[in-house]
Amino acid sequence: MTGQDLTQMLLDALGKRIEDAEATALAVALGKKAFKSATPNSQPGISAAKLGVDVGTHINIKNRALWPPRKQGRLWITFVSHAFIRPNYRGALPPGFDWQMDDAALSARFERRVEGTIKAVRFTLPQPREGLRAIVELGSDGRPRHLYLGVIQERAYATIYPDDKPEHRVEDGFFAAWCALEGLLREGRLDAGSSMPCASGADRRGLSWKMRSAGCSGRRT
């Protein structure tokens, strides 16, 4: 194992396939030859407790650049998906964060949330780079128990899961709004409270043009 600062190597490897050079370099720095391929039932990572780092992998990352899960030959394509950094880590930390900060100090700098059935207190830090997120979780002693770095995952919209919740179907919403603006809905399909007032025909035409520019063609495909 190495005593070098692994932070940049972590940031470079996250979101990469495990056979990519960045992922291989990180595995070697953590004392392994390479990451192992994951499966739907197993996501092997690399744990380097002495360095304060656990790095995870996954085949199913809901991100447009990495989705959907797929095989190459007999193996699943596997990505370096996330890392947990512990207080004994000696590498560079995000600006404004250190392991001695308590709830009040973290709340003064970062967005605070209480999540899950265990009421975990978590703080959202600035993105370490585009496409990644950083989250700090407090331990029972009131100090950070770990820093989580991971690939940002997107909500499951209708383009991915056609039978998902209606409120996630943003494409349907844009299409319905375009139909309403163009006067294509049957009388009575919109009540007075659900239609969006427009000051003039020019306003409607302008919004309609913007929606067409965003990909609303006026017909379902």
Domain ranges of the chain: 7-151, 166-213
Contact 77, 70 (CB under 8 A): yes
**Of the candidates 80, 87, 90, which has an alpha carbon nearest to the alpha carbon of residue 136?**
87
57-91: b (≥16 Cβ within 10 Å) or e: bbbebbeeebeebeeeeeebbbbbbbbbbbeebeb
User: Rounded distance, CA 87 to CA 8, Å?
Assistant: 18
Read off the tokens for 93.
Answer: 């930390």
Looking at residue 217, its pLDDT comes to 46
**Predicted confidence band at 176 (pLDDT cuts at 50, 70, 90)?**
confident
What separation in angstroms does the CA of 11 have from each of 18, 25, 129?
14, 12, 8
User: Rounded distance, CA 98 to CA 101, Å?
Assistant: 6
Mean pLDDT score of the chain: 83
pLDDT tens digits, one per residue of 181-218: 877 766 665 555 554 544 444 444 444 444 444 444 44
In DSSP notation, 159-171 reads TT-TTS-GGG-HH
Contact 212, 218 (CB under 8 A): yes
Classified as helix, coil or strand, 126 is: coil
* pLDDT above 70 (res 168): no
**Lowest-pLDDT range, 24-33, 105-114, 154-163, 164-173?**
154-163
pLDDT tens digits, one per residue of 93-127: 999 999 999 999 999 999 999 998 889 999 999 99
| 125 vs 160, more confident | 125
For residues 62-71, give the mean pLDDT: 88
Looking at residue 199, its pLDDT comes to 41
